[in-house]
A and B are shown apart, each in its own frame.
Chain A
Amino acid sequence: MPKGSYQGPLEQIAPCQWRIPKNYKQGMRVDGLIFASSDMIGQIAADQAPEQVANVAFLPGIQAASIAMPDIHWGYGFSIGGVCATDPQQGGVISPGGVGYDINCGVRLLRSNLTKAEIQPQIEPIVEQLFRQVPAGVGKGGKYRYNRKELRKLTAEGCNYLKRQGLATDADIEHTEAQGCLAGAEPDHVSDRALERGKDQCGTLGSGNHFLEVQVVEEVCDEEAARAMQLEKNMICVMIHSGSRGLGYQVCDDALKQLRKAPAKYGITLPDRQLACAPVESPEGRHYLGAMAAAANYAWCNRQLLMWQTREAFEQALGKSWEKLGMHLVYDVAHNIAKFEHHAVDGQRRRVLVHRKGATRAFPPGHPETPDAYKQIGQPVLIPGDMGRASWVLVGQPSAMDLSFGSCCHGAGRRLSRTAAVKASKGRRIDRELADVGVIAKARSWKGLAEEQPEAYKDVNDVVDVVHRAGLAKKVARLRPIGVVKG
């Protein structure tokens, strides 16, 4: 039930940082820290999202602060836009709610050697081709089908499995976070139900806020970084947003059920059952981590196959090979995941488990986990906006390591609930409104389009401004959608 606005403390400690002191609620182990501008904070406190930031601070072993990004909005358990690092050596926990149902939901961007001028006259047939060729929509299955044995391999090996089938290149893998394969995957921890749901959904977009967009680089803010990513003004790019589909949701669901009794067993007091967790070093914790990594690998394969079908659609629409069209992967980032990383905490280098629930990794220049091509500029951070305005490419900055465990925002963040958005679209044709601003949108459901209309989201430019000003990530390029495919 809507519970009204957040009534607790929010202390401004820097131009874009707000603190919820740990004495706000008994049981908080660390402060809450929200990155936001003064203009945004009112909207953020309009619902219970800050309360959720405070609740996450209850998790055993949490380090530094329960952190939230400027695209924060009310989620379940964790807020969307949350970052939480726990230290296994200090009884740190893993919480499936801190990863989310859509494990390794994420974004990838591919560039091309096409320009806006070349594509604009053909944008409608291209979007039609993408809409026909890329499976999207409620529970939609695709052309790639994997039996249980194959799924076990796919979830263990990630994109390397697809490479052997000729569906991924070395360059694709090199430009994917974790090279498209998270270590520690345990396919045997993935239930039969999850495998059943995943058998025909790899390479499908899904519904909700997932999308495939043809975009134009509208503004380059950092020439050096754009050059390293081979992005230029007026270049056509494609952005893909999807996750682990039914397989991932089922893994999360299974874990939450298995963890029902874990808080009592391990003496953990939680203010919300959706925060259910277990120590990283416990049978329950290890079980989930193995299953989560398998689901994450499935998600990387999903986005890889979505990209592969995008390349095929462009080949058919334009009569040239994707290599000739220069359709190379710029980068792929996860924004719903938990990963073991090394960070400095209290002046000591520690191995912590970083939960990012609607937050993107943003490693700085020189970080060993950044691909060689981007070592000098920092890890690319891809921030999808709404389908009418803009999306952004940024690069991680050194202060992200000090302030947010190398993390940054993941999108615009919702402003209106789905029901409010549908209500606001009564009597309107969102597709026509988008066409009026130069965006060709194809969706399987008008309601889906209404729920995802630009007004339903905060302005991504404001969100990106905050992470840029706070020093978490630096603006590189702004992209504008011209073609949208939705489920």
Chain B
Amino acid sequence: MYETFSHTADLGLRIRAEGFPSLLEQAGRALFATLVANLDEVRPVEQRELRIEGDDPEYLFFDWLNELLYTYQKDRLVLVEFDLHVDSAGLRAACRGESLDLARHRPDHDVKAITYHDLTVVETDGRWLAEVIVDI
């Protein structure tokens, strides 16, 4: 589950999930929902494998979103499905989506960067909450 919250010049994303992999998955959805207005029109026809090293949940969360953003910025790939595996070495993800097609997809915000400002990734009794502000 995710929602957006206001930050004067930018935009905040708040994500809640049961379990860390699910948090990352939801965060991926939240990011792409910010980038593309009609995410439901995006078909999971192309696959991309991503791998991120690290064991700090905050940095892992940050690097994951950053990597997704870079994939979008570089290849215009809009990702909507994520199979995630997290272990002590980091995360591996099989991501599916398709290339941005302006005939069918409506780009929304131009997210310039993921920021560290007030970045929160916390777990309480297996429930995860993350907040991140993206630079627009």
**Contact surface of A with B, Cβ cutoff 8 Å:** 1-2, 47, 73-77, 80, 101-102, 137-139, 193, 196-197, 206-208, 246, 249, 252-253, 256, 260, 272-274, 276, 414, 417-420, 445, 447, 487
Which chain B residues (1-50) contact chain A, with CB distance < 8 Å? 4-12, 14
Query: B110–A207 contact, CB under 8 A?
Result: yes
Is B59 part of the contact surface with A, judged by Cβ < 8 Å?
yes
Additional A-B contact list (12), CB under 8 Å, known A74-B8, A193-B74: A1-B5, A2-B6, A75-B117, A76-B116, A101-B112, A101-B113, A139-B76, A139-B107, A208-B112, A253-B113, A274-B115, A447-B108
| Structural contact, A2 and B5, CB atoms closer than 8 A | yes
Minimum C-beta distance from B52 to chain A (A): 12
Partner of A206, one of B9, B10, B110, B119: B110
Q: Which residues of A contact B66 (CB under 8 A)?
A: 253
Q: List 9 A-B contacts (CB under 8 A).
A: A101-B112, A101-B135, A102-B112, A139-B110, A246-B73, A273-B119, A274-B115, A274-B117, A420-B6
Q: From B76, which residue of chain A is reached at the shortest CB distance?
A: A139
Contact B14 A76, beta carbon cutoff 8 Å: no
Chain B residues whose C-beta falls within 8 Å of the C-beta of A272 in the assembled complex? 116-118
With A2-B5, A80-B9, A260-B59 as given contacts, are A273 and B116 in contact (CB-CB < 8 Å)? Answer: yes
**Most chain A beta-carbon neighbours within 10 Å: one of B4, B9, B12, B135:** B9
The residues of A that contact B135 with a CB separation of less than 8 Å are: 76, 101, 249
Do A417 and B113 form a contact, CB below 8 Å, given A1-B131, A76-B135, A445-B107?
no
Bound form: Cα–Cα A2–B6 in Å: 7
> Which has the most chain A C-beta neighbours within 10 Å: B107, B113, B114, B118?
B113
Contacts of B109 in A (CB 8 A): 138, 418, 447
Whole-angstrom CA separation of A306 from B120 in the bound complex: 39
B interface, over-half SS = mixed
The one of A1, A249, A419 in contact with B14, judged by C-beta atoms closer than 8 angstroms, is A1
The answer to the question of B121 belonging to the interface, with a C-beta cut-off of 8 Å to chain A, is no
Instruction: Decide: A139 and B9 in contact? CB cutoff 8 A.
Output: no
- In whole angstroms, how far apart are the Cα atoms of A273 and B115 in the complex? 9
- B residues in contact with A139, CB < 8 Å: 73, 76, 107, 110
**Interface of chain B residues 80 through 136 with chain A (CB within 8 A):** 107-110, 112-120, 131, 133, 135-136
Determine the chain A residues whose CB is within 8 A of the CB of B14 once the complex forms: 1
CB contacts (< 8 Å) of A418 on chain B: these are 6, 9-11, 109, 136
The 8 Å CB contact of A193, one of B70, B112, B113, B119, is: B70
| A431 CA to B133 CA, complexed, in Å | 29
Which residues of B sit under 8 angstroms from A256, Cβ to Cβ? 116
* With A1-B118, A206-B110, A249-B113: A419-B11 Cβ-Cβ less than 8 Å: yes
Contact B107 A276 (CB under 8 A): no
Nearest chain B residue, comparing its CB with the CB of A272: B117
Residue on B nearest A2 in the bound complex, by CB: B6
Query: Chain A nearest CB: distance from B84 CB in Å?
Result: 21
Shortest C-beta distance, B61 to chain A (Å), equals 13
Q: CB-nearest residue of chain A relative to B70?
A: A193
- Cβ–Cβ < 8 Å partners of B133 in chain A: 76
